[in-house]
Structure 1
Amino acid sequence: MLKIRAEYYLSFIPPSKANRVKINSRAFTKSGKRYIVPKDVSIKINKAIWELQQQHKNEPVDIPVSVKILFILPDRRRRDLDNIMKTLGDCMVYAGILQDDNLIYRQILEKKVVRGEEGVIINITPFDDKEIDSKIIDKLKSYKEKINGI
């Protein structure tokens, strides 16, 4: 169970889920797709899981959480943080930090370029489940009615 907050570190940027190669063959997965993960990508994913396991010795978190992730990048090369986050969410589950990555109710992704430095700082806090303002729901309903009338 998550007490107040937890902080984890990775010494490198995990690979993006886009680094998987789709293969055409019959598969028995939910999505019906099979992927080959290149060996170097697989090694980096396993290293990320290992680093996270070394820092987490408690039971997996089983409540909704907010996750703030700071990516320290060594250069300005283009990186898709959404795809990296997909890999990172899976790594947190495999490392036993989260029971399931669908418990991430809010995520804040930020990147900073620090020449020659690389890594990830992950902050996890309980999700503050405030009621949504009814005015926002009314605006959404109004928009839907407007779109449906076109």
Structure 2
Amino acid sequence: MKKEFYLSFIPPSKANRVKINLRAYSKSGKRYIVPKDVSLKINKAIWELQNQHDGETFSKPVEVDILFILPNKRRRDLDNIMKTLGDCLVYAGIIKDDNLIYRQVLEKIVVKGEEGVIIKIKEHKEKSTQTKVLEKLKKYKESVDGI
């Protein structure tokens, strides 16, 4: 199964949430205030994704390739934007949980005056190259232990 989704804008970064200390805590023990404009953008992203979704949810490990089309060269932290985007994919019912993302490729391009996101999701396949990679890691660890 392979699917492609689009967003008409760049979702807000998770860094846009303001941490507060109150006596009431969320499940994670943290409490946040999400500014109204940020909340509206997150809801818009979920709405756009839901409108493109056919109802079949990814419930096994997935790979995501995401292309961010940015309107200018303003600094943006793709990792934090991806955190918000992962949450939106879950709330839209596209993936069951964002911990099912086993591989992600984030890329950005700047196209003056244009903005949006292209998201490609497919099932994650275990690769036979893992054995080779693990061998390299094992050799490295042995060399470090020998120091």
- Tell me the TM-score normalized by structure 2: 0.92
Aligned with 2:104 (options 107, 111, 127): 107
Gaps of 5+ in 2: none
The yes-or-no answer on 1:128 pairing with 2:128 is no
Unaligned runs of 5+ in 1: none
Instruction: Choose which of 32, 48, 52 in structure 2 pairs with 1:35.
Output: 32
Provide TM-score, normalisation by structure 1: 0.90
SS at match of 1:92: helix
Tell me the CA shift for residue 17 of structure 1: 0.3
Measured in 2, the distance between the counterparts of 1:115 and 1:94 equals 31
Indicate yes or no: 2:47 matched with 1:47: no
Alignment RMSD = 1.5
The offset of 1:24, in angstroms, is 1.3
The residue aligned with 2:80 is 83
Who is 1:22 aligned against?
A: 19
Change (3 A) 1:144 1:25: farther
CA distance in 1, matches of 2:19, 2:96: 27
Cα displacement string for residues 58-115 of structure 1 (whole angstroms, at most 9, x for unaligned residues): 2211111110000000000000000000000000000010011111111000001000
For this pair of structures, how many residues does the alignment match?
Answer: 147
Q: Which contiguous aligned blocks of 4+ residues in structure 1 show a shift greater than 2 angstroms?
A: 26-31, 131-136, 141-150
